[in-house]
Structure 1
Amino acid sequence: MSDTRPSAGGRRLISSGSEFEQTYSYSRAVVVGHHVMLSGTTGYDYASSTLAKGAREQTLQLFRNASAAFSQAGATLADVVRVRMYLSQAEHYEEIMAVFAETFRGVNPACTTVEAGLFDPEIFVEMDMDAILDVRA
């Protein structure tokens, strides 16, 4: 679900419909001009209210979530120019990066990866991303 009402400065808010966004007053993504900033996104499936099991499955779901938000903004994962990745356990790095490589082959966004304590110990990966609309043009 997207909130298409522009606010000050032409900002457009994108929502996934997640209860977290309403409870904690944030947007899945914010569009300002040609820039799309995606909030930290995990492998949580909002439709079924479940967290995918395993690092690969969480990463695949994370990219489905990101793709849906970017689609509402008029963008795709091919428009991503920057990724910040947070891993709860470095041991999952290779498995997560294999999915990352499949997803971004040929796009090659700038990427920073850190190991961090995430708010839920069952979450293996969280990413936030920046995209620029029409970056491929």
Structure 2
Amino acid sequence: MRRQRISSGSTFEEKIAYSRAIVHGDWVFVAGTTGFDYSNMTIADDIYTQTDQCLKNIQAALARAGATLADVVRVNYVVPDASEFELCWPVLRQYFGEIRPAAMMISAGLADPRMKIEIEVTAIKQSPNTPTDPT
């Protein structure tokens, strides 16, 4: 089975020696993704905006892998300040409200103090005829 590496262009990928995503068969593993706008390496000050940018970055990686957010089966959230996690829930509902993947949140420090959230997802590319259970 062929392994495909996907890069976002983030300078962190080369410095730390990782890929934004790995595609292995129908599986897509998206690395912990922060709220940096990789086009200009800026990051917003608040968790709400960073969460939105994280998910845009994840969508871009999934698209390059031939997948979408609808293919996401697992999400891990890492938040340095657990009391801020609720502030990003509206964004999470916007992106995952109908998908409802298995998820967990961990409160832990991140590599850069400007980072308010990091999100990692696992997806499995579905065939167009794969049924989903809305319950």
> TM-score, normalization: structure 1?
0.90
1:121 is aligned to: 113
Matching of residue 83 in structure 1 with residue 75 in structure 2: yes
1:42 is aligned to: 34
Amino acid at match of 1:94: E
Aligned-pair distance for 1:135?
A: 6.2
Matches within 5 A, 1:1-137: 9-134=1-126, 137=130
Contact residue 79 and residue 135 of structure 1 kept, 8 A: no
Deviation by residue 1:12-51 (Cα, 9 ceiling, x = unmatched):
0011111111222210000000000000000011101101
In structure 2, C-alpha distance between the alignment counterparts of 1:61 and 1:101, rounded to whole Å: 14
SS at match of 1:13: strand
Structure 1: 4+ residue segments shifted above 3 A: none
2:133 is aligned to: none
1:6 is aligned to: none
Q: How many residues align?
A: 129
In structure 1, C-alpha distance between the alignment counterparts of 2:112 and 2:76, rounded to whole Å: 18
Aligned-pair distance for 1:96?
A: 1.3
**Unpaired runs of at least 5, structure 1:** 1-8
Root-mean-square deviation over aligned CA pairs: 1.2
**Unpaired runs of at least 5, structure 2:** 131-135
| Identical positions, percent | 42
> TM-score, normalization: structure 2?
0.91
Deviation by residue 1:42-95 (Cα, 9 ceiling, x = unmatched):
001110110122110000000110000000000111110000110110121111
Aligned-pair distance for 1:102?
A: 1.4
> Kindly tell me: are residues 44 and 135 of structure 1, through their superposed partners in 2, closer, same or farther at Cα, counting changes over 3 Å?
farther
Amino acid at match of 1:130: T
